[in-house]
Amino acid sequence: MLPFGGIPRPNWIEINLDHLQSNIRYFRSLLPADVKILLPVKADAYGHGSLAISFAAIEAGIDFLGVAHLFEGIALRENGVKAQILILGPCLESDFPFLIKHNLTPTIQDYKTAHKLNSQLSTLNSQLKQKLKPKQKDHETPHKLNSQLSTLNSQLKIKIKIHIKTDTGMHRFGINCENIDEIKKICELPNLEAEGLYSHFATADTPEHTAVENQLAKFDKLVKELEKAGMRPPLCHIANSPATLLFTEKTHYDMVRPGVALYGYDPLGEIPSRFAIKPVLKLRSTVRALREVEKGEGVSYGHFFVAKKNMRVATIAIGYGDGYLRGEPNQGVIFIRGKACPILGRVCMDACMVDASEVPDAQIGDIAECMDGEYSGQISVEAFAAEHKTISYEITTRMARRLYRIYRYKGKIGGWNDILLYLK
């Protein structure tokens, strides 16, 4: 067990911020210079730690951060993150006061919400002007007073930037992309600045699926219609990780939103990845016990594994309580001293057992490599996801909070408080 933060820890996650920055530079090299990049840091940056990821991404030149909910954006602001933040979930009326206070960009998915936000801003503007309205002095002419009011109006008008979400086929959030009149009405509201227009692909990770072309055609038609009307928002975006990598300039528009690939995991689940991305996260544990198990003996809950010969069994301090999924019995491997040790039977809440017969020199306290695509493709996040019939996103976002997080950054390694000194 390693003494992270002065306390022995049997399990931990290592987050390599250098790899994150390398991935951002790689994506930047694929894009025209004027195309912006939004990094989603929702769900605690896909389980990687939203603060460290945000600061490292900003230093690497990321243009936008994306969160799912208002409170995620507020948490970043309260911890000193100054980059533009887009709330990707739909805006609610209860969000309105916090948008101004924390300088957050909402997603608008209907005219009704947009109209209410515009009206509230109108009221705030009126109140502000009344409060700061200059009083006429005896020596001042009405003309001079009008000039002062005009200056006040231009300087103090509160506007909020918004991004309009359109539904081109995902059918989750957004205005129907064919309802162009409603979108135009939102763009015309005087207190809202329609900075962005976007949609989301449903099947970009299965490129042979015709839905990608259908969605792209609908979005492209909408963008051109708005452009013709002089209402095209400056930031149109639809590309997620696979679209950015596979469909190149067809989907890039003004901004892209690669998520899982910027964290270093192949959006198609390929091992090895064809793309020059580096995994940001690794999950490590320790050997907590060693024992000899005789032929015919069962291991773990339910005895789904029964030894066919005498063997050496190591107990590893990682379990489904840490986010290491339970899955099917006798599935997967963990590396000890460079050897792949098959998992025996069921993964428990706080431990799992592996066959360490091929590691006769294994000792209690040895590091166990549980998930690390750099170490071996066998224990990459993509491989682990495939074993459990899921996707990389679910694996990383399920990492438990009780796992201690340490960060690697420019030759330094430490907890968040240590690395923060170098990032801010």
Mean pLDDT over 254-264 rounds to: 97
Domain with CATH 2.40.37.10 in the chain: 281-390
Report how far apart, in Å, the C-alpha atoms of 245 and of each of 125, 359, 377 are: 44, 41, 21
Q: Which residues are catalytic?
A: 42, 301
| 300-327 residue pLDDT tens | 999 999 999 999 999 999 999 999 999 9
Residue with tokens 């750099």: 374
Q: How much of the chain exceeds pLDDT 70, in percent?
A: 90
* 11 has pLDDT over 80: yes
Q: Which residues of 233-254 are buried (b: 16+ CB within 10 A; e: fewer)?
A: bebbbbbbbbbbbbbeeebbbb
| 79-103 residue pLDDT tens | 999 999 999 999 999 999 999 999 9
| 201-251 residue pLDDT tens | 999 888 666 788 999 999 999 999 999 999 999 999 999 999 999 987 789
* 421 has pLDDT over 70: no
pLDDT at 249: 78
For residue 323, the one-letter residue type is G
φ and ψ at 163, to 5 degrees?
-120, 130
pLDDT band at 361 (very low <50, low <70, confident <90, very high): very high
Find, among 402, 300, 294, 290, the residue nearest to 336 by Cα.
290
pLDDT band at 134 (very low <50, low <70, confident <90, very high): low
Mean pLDDT over 268-292 rounds to: 96
For residue 199, the one-letter residue type is S
For residue 356, the one-letter residue type is A
| 376-413 residue pLDDT tens | 999 999 999 999 999 999 999 999 989 999 999 998 88
Superfamily of domain 281-390: Lyase, Ornithine Decarboxylase; Chain A, domain 1 (2.40.37.10)
What is the value of pTM for the model shown?
0.91
CATH of domain 17-256: 3.20.20.10
pLDDT at 128: 67
User: What tokens were used for 409?
Assistant: 């950054």
DSSP secondary structure letter of residue 135: P
Please answer whether residues 56 and 20 qualify as being in contact, where contact means their C-beta atoms are separated by less than 8 angstroms: yes
Residue 157 vs residue 19, higher pLDDT: 19
pLDDT band at 152 (very low <50, low <70, confident <90, very high): very low
pLDDT band at 149 (very low <50, low <70, confident <90, very high): very low
pLDDT band at 55 (very low <50, low <70, confident <90, very high): very high
pLDDT at 145: 44
* 253 has pLDDT over 90: yes
User: What tokens were used for 344?
Assistant: 């025996």
Find, among 61, 37, 65, 38, the residue nearest to 51 by Cα.
65
Q: How much of the chain exceeds pLDDT 90, in percent?
A: 81
Mean pLDDT over 21-41 rounds to: 97
pLDDT at 142: 53
Distance of CA 404 to the CA centre of its chain: 19
User: By mean pLDDT, which of 155-164, 198-207, 323-332, 341-350 is the weakest?
Assistant: 155-164
pLDDT at 247: 82
d(CA 279, CA 263): 6
Torsional class of 381: left (φ above 0), alpha (ψ -120 to 50), beta (otherwise): alpha
Mean pLDDT over 186-204 rounds to: 96
Domain with CATH 3.20.20.10 in the chain: 17-256
Average pLDDT, the chain: 91
